[in-house]
Homo-oligomer: A and B are copies of this chain.
Amino acid sequence: MFEVAELGHTVSKADYHKKTPILRTELLTVQQQLRQHNYSVIILISGVDGGGKGEVIKLLNEWLDPRYMRTNAYDYPSDEEQERPVFWRFWRTMPAKGTMGIYVGSWYSTPIAQRVYGKTKNAELKVQLKKINELEQELADDNTLIIKCWLHLAKDQQKKRLKQLEKNPDTAWQVTERDKKHLKMYDKFVGVAEEVLTETSSVQNPWLIVEGSDIRYSSLTVGQHILDKIKAHISTCEQKEHPPIMVPDSKIIHGNQPSLLSSLDLSVSLDKDSYKEQLNHYQGKLNKLTRQAHEKKISSVLVFEGWDAGGKGGAIRRLTHAMDARNYQVIPIAAPTEEERLQHYLWRFWRHMPRAGHVSIYDRSWYGRVLVERAENFASEEEWTRAYPEIRNFEESLTEHGIALLKFWLHIDPDEQLSRFKAREKISYKQHKITEEDYRNREKWDEYSLAVNDMVARTSTQSALWTLVEANDKRYARIKVLKAYCAKLEEMLDA
């Protein structure tokens, strides 16, 4: 597949100087247009050593307006990055809508390097590429334009390039022992690259393979490609709505879960004495378990969803009572901030991923997308439908990183909710919790029920099952939550 990039393409100096100012003007103009739109552009510059990545990136940085673009180089991950799922570092630097991000050493670097060095087998590479495809698809679904450029050099060209660089005292430093080693691994490298590019080229996110032997040729080609892609993207997005995307259902556990919710026995309860005894017991247990998890650097992500007044806050407090305040954060999810609104909807949850051994407790979560945003029409059907596989992938990346993930749905019935609303209105420091809106939401109980059922059915995966909590009785609910977290930690610590 790389033959097209070994033909010796060049651009003369005169031609280059004629074409660049025009290209540059057009790029700046299109950057201005992009500012008005609700999506971002990610440009990946990858390729073989000596293929001129650095020079192309340097030129792009000169041509483009730095106010609306940013170059992110992903070198060796910091400890803060290593302690999170692999994609976290890419999420944290995601360009805001209306802007561009150039990625040097993107999510492709590690999978390619690992395979070339024989640290992974082909099957593992395939899994990594599948995840990359999913990530890129999710970004594309959010209208993010991903432009992928691969700078190629034939083997003898690479050799020549390294020699040239070495000869010139000004550039000799660029040639490292690692480069020479890589030259010997050229065939292996190109073989892996060929597989990677094939597996990750799609109509929506294709790779552009560019001959890298002549910097004038490669930079003009990359620049022109970026320009064309952005222009086309703007026009596509303006002209038509995205077609609805079918949700692949392969990961859904079919079964009796949808009916499970409606058939939950809300009459279960605990008397005060058993409650006190069990509370004491499980809090003591949880204290030890969270301490051990902290020592073993096992992180937890706990998600609390449920009806308004379902008792999320109370259940969370019974957990945190047993935990060291230095090791957990409660993340209350309210309306997104301006910076959050300029990102993919999952971005604001990625932000709060815990460091190794820490716990993030989400009081409401990414499930807002398929609950309130669905019921209130804040998200289009296409958006919330797409959210199920997105959420499954997101959660999979957490569990695969070794994070203990628990998801609680606190279930009460409408009568119980009403009496709790009334009770809250009588307690001064709880009055602010009750608004007109809470009463309005009650009218949509059926729509919300449907959304909850769908959510549980479509996001219960092997590694990320929902814990449905019968919460009409607060005591019963709190103990069930405590027990579930204890059980999860025991399982993780045993493994």
Contacts and interface: CB of A to CB of B under 8 A. Distances in A.
Contact of A338 (B32, B78, B338, B432): B338
Contacts of A170: 284, 287-288
Interface in A317-359: 317, 320-321, 324-327, 329-330, 332, 334, 337-339, 355
How many copies of this chain? 2
A80 interface: yes
Interface in A91-139: 102, 104
SS of A interface (majority): helix
A461 interface: no
A66 interface: yes
A29 interface: yes
Contacts of A380: none
A489 to B, nearest CB: 16
A429 B62 contact: no
A343 to B, nearest CB: 12
A363 B102 CA distance: 19
Contacts of A79: 78-80
Interface in A67-92: 67-68, 70-71, 73, 75, 78-80
Interface residues of A, number: 52
A25 B428 contact: yes
Given A326-B54, A338-B339, A320 B80 contact: no
A24 B57 CA distance: 57
A337 B334 contact: no
A399 B29 CA distance: 39
Given A29-B428, A79-B80, A58 B325 contact: yes
A88 to B, nearest CB: 13
A166 B267 CA distance: 44
A470 to B, nearest CB: 24
B173 A54 contact: no
Given A73-B326, A78-B78, A326-B75, A320 B25 contact: no
Contact of A326 (B71, B287, B334): B71
A338 B334 CA distance: 14
A341 to B, nearest CB: 9
A196 interface: no
Contacts of A202: none
Given A66-B313, A78-B355, 19 more contacts: A24-B429, A25-B429, A28-B430, A29-B428, A57-B325, A58-B320, A58-B325, A62-B320, A62-B321, A66-B330, A67-B332, A67-B334, A67-B363, A73-B325, A78-B80, A80-B80, A170-B284, A337-B338, A337-B339
15 contacts: A25-B429, A32-B429, A57-B325, A57-B326, A62-B320, A66-B313, A66-B330, A66-B363, A67-B334, A67-B363, A71-B326, A75-B326, A104-B325, A173-B291, A337-B338
